[in-house]
Each structure stands twice: as structure tokens, then as C-alpha cells.
Amino acid sequence: MSISMYEFSPRAQFWGGLVLWIIAVVLGLSAMLYQRVTGPTYPLRGQAEFEQQTVDYRLPRTATTGQDTQVSLPDVGYRYEGKLYFKRYKTEDPLTEVALRLEGDKLVAELPSQPPAGKLEYYMLFTGPLSLQDWRPAEVRVPAEENVVIRYKGAVPAVILAPHVILMILVVIFGIRTLLAALTNRQEMRILAWITFWLMAVGGMILGPAVQQYAFGAAWTGIPVGWDLTDNKMLIMFLCWLVAIAVLGRGRSRIRPAQRWVTVLVALVMIVVYLIPHSMYGSELDYSQVDQGVPPEQAIGQG
């Protein structure tokens, strides 16, 4: 038989609730950090070896349309000549070569701006002194293997982007707190579920499309009009919490076990969906259509 929080004193319930909030905040922030660092738009970090020097790098994978994007690496010394190579993503374009120049203590070059949802792939190549092993110039590729892919997006006004981000953070925290309340059979799970639903409705289903409109020129590219994973994730989470509030209702009646477990299931689905890396299979410009004369804003698909 499960133990209900109703059986504890108000003081114990207060401290128990506070502990659950701390757990929800820690888990929520951890989930957001995980989603952020595993997403394809998070800067690519790594290390490159130059003779006996190890250099840390941080290469951008997202940029704003209308301005060139600077790519940089800490200065590796005059004995190495560095070049930036790039081309439009998923095209047969020849690689464009740009020499890296020294600015302060960094070697820098710029990637040209692209239309919203346009992508470039790039890497840097350094040719250095003769290798002591085979007497040929040493080459250091950054990154060592696959090219970096950077996606461009339109500028989103802070008055829209900031509330969207804040509300989506709160969705995760309140959703996890609802899960913990359901698992411990606390009566506040009903009001928490309703709060989570409205946070999702405003932050995800209203402000989310507004962000998409500014960033990529299309408010909605998920089901039924497309397969944009970010939009579909928001839709799934919204529908899940809609189910939860429909099952829990709006009264103050004691919550039945079936209602609790539906709430638990909804919250778990939200967590699983949320942990899918952000911006995967998102908006992508089809350069083949652009080359045929299609306006860039009409040549956006998913990729």
C-alpha cells in the first residue's frame, strides 16, 4: 500500500514539498543543460595538437542571417599557415579557401552570411614545419574528421525570444515537480499539471511559432504540414499535458490512483521528448531549389 502525503503533518508536508521543488529544479536544469550541449547548434568544442602544443577550440554551429560569422583558433605560431575551407551544405560546390589572419592572439576568418535555414560546412587546415618522421610538411585538420555544419537563422526580437525560453524552462521544472507530486501522492499535482499545461500553451504553442516565424520565415513546420522535430516535440508535450488536465479535472476531489498514474506517464513522456537534442531535424534550406530560382523563403525543408 502506498503512503500518501496526506498522512503527514502540515509541517512535514511543507518541508517535503520544498525538497521536491529542489529536486525538480536540479533535474530540470540538468535536463536543459544536457539538451543544450547535445544539440547540433551548440558550439563544437575540442582540442588540436600542434607539435607539442595543445590548442582548445570552440567552433560556431549557429549564426544570424545578415552578418558574417567569425571562426577563430588561438594563435599556433608563425611556423603554421592556416586556411579556412567551406561550402554550402549538401551541395557539390567546390570548397572556398580563405587564409586565416592574426588578430591579437587569435587566428580568424569569416564565413559569409546565408539566408535563414541555410547551412555551411567548414573546417580549418594548418600546414606546418617538416615532420621529423617523413620530412613532409605536417598537416593539422580542425576538427580532425567531420566538417562542422553551421545553420543560419533570422534575428528573433528579445521581447519574444526571452519569454519563450523562460517559459520553456519553467515547463520542464513544473513538469518534473508534477511528476514528483504524483509519485508521492500529493494533492497539488492537479494545480501543478494545470500550470504546466498553460506554460506549455503560451511558451510552446504561441511563442514557439513566433520564434520560428522570425528565425526561419515559417510559424509552423511540424505535423500536419511538415516533420520539423522541434515543432513536433512541442506538439507532443502540449497534447500530453492536455490529456493530463482532462483526466485530473478542475475540482478539489481526492485524486484517484488511475489519475495519478496517467499524470506520471504524461510527465515521463515529456521528459523523454524533451531530452531529444534541440534543433535536430530542423529547418534546412534546399540549395538545389535556390539554384533553380526558387526564393530562399520558399525552399526551406527539414534536414
Share of the chain above pLDDT 90, in %: 63
Residue of higher predicted confidence among 297 and 85: 85
Res 119 pLDDT > 80: yes
Residue of higher predicted confidence among 103 and 281: 103
What pLDDT was estimated at residue 164? 96
- Cell output for 34: 544536457
Tell me the per-residue pLDDT of 143-171, one tens digit each, with 9 for 90 and over. 988 999 999 999 999 999 999 999 999 99
State mean pLDDT over 279-297.
86
Evaluated on CA atoms 138, 143, 146, 149, the torsion sign reads negative
Residue of higher predicted confidence among 212 and 37: 212
What pLDDT was estimated at residue 239? 95
CB 177 within 8 A of CB 218: no
Residue of higher predicted confidence among 8 and 68: 68
Res 135 pLDDT > 60: no
State mean pLDDT over 74-95.
92
Res 3 pLDDT > 50: no
The 3-state DSSP class for residue 98 equals strand
The 3-state DSSP class for residue 168 equals helix
Residue of higher predicted confidence among 37 and 103: 103
What pLDDT was estimated at residue 243? 96
pLDDT-derived band at 130, boundaries 50, 70, 90: low
Lowest pLDDT segment from 116-120, 222-226, 270-274: 222-226
Q: What's the mean per-residue pLDDT of the chain?
A: 88
- Please tell me the distance from the alpha carbon of residue 50 to that of residue 74, in angstroms, as a whole number: 11
Res 50 pLDDT > 50: yes
CATH of 44-153, one of 2.60.120.10, 3.40.50.300, 3.30.750.24, 2.60.40.10: 2.60.40.10
pLDDT-derived band at 222, boundaries 50, 70, 90: confident
State mean pLDDT over 192-209.
96
What pLDDT was estimated at residue 283? 83
Res 2 pLDDT > 50: no
CB 128 within 8 A of CB 139: yes
Number of H helices, E strands in the chain: 7, 13
CB 124 within 8 A of CB 140: no
CB 179 within 8 A of CB 264: yes
- Please tell me the distance from the alpha carbon of residue 192 to that of residue 108, in angstroms, as a whole number: 49
Residues near 285 by Cβ (< 8 Å), separated by ≥ 6?
114, 115, 116, 117, 118, 119, 296, 299, 300, 301
Tell me the per-residue pLDDT of 91-114, one tens digit each, with 9 for 90 and over. 999 999 999 999 999 999 999 999
pLDDT-derived band at 254, boundaries 50, 70, 90: confident
- Cell output for 194: 494545470
State mean pLDDT over 86-93.
96
Share of the chain above pLDDT 70, in %: 92
How many other β-carbons are positioned within 10 Å of the β-carbon of residue 99?
A: 10
The 3-state DSSP class for residue 261 equals helix
State mean pLDDT over 244-251.
92
Cα-only R_g, the chain: 25
- Please tell me the distance from the alpha carbon of residue 179 to that of residue 174, in angstroms, as a whole number: 9
State mean pLDDT over 179-200.
94
State mean pLDDT over 70-90.
91
State mean pLDDT over 261-270.
95
**E strand or H helix at 292, and its extent?**
none
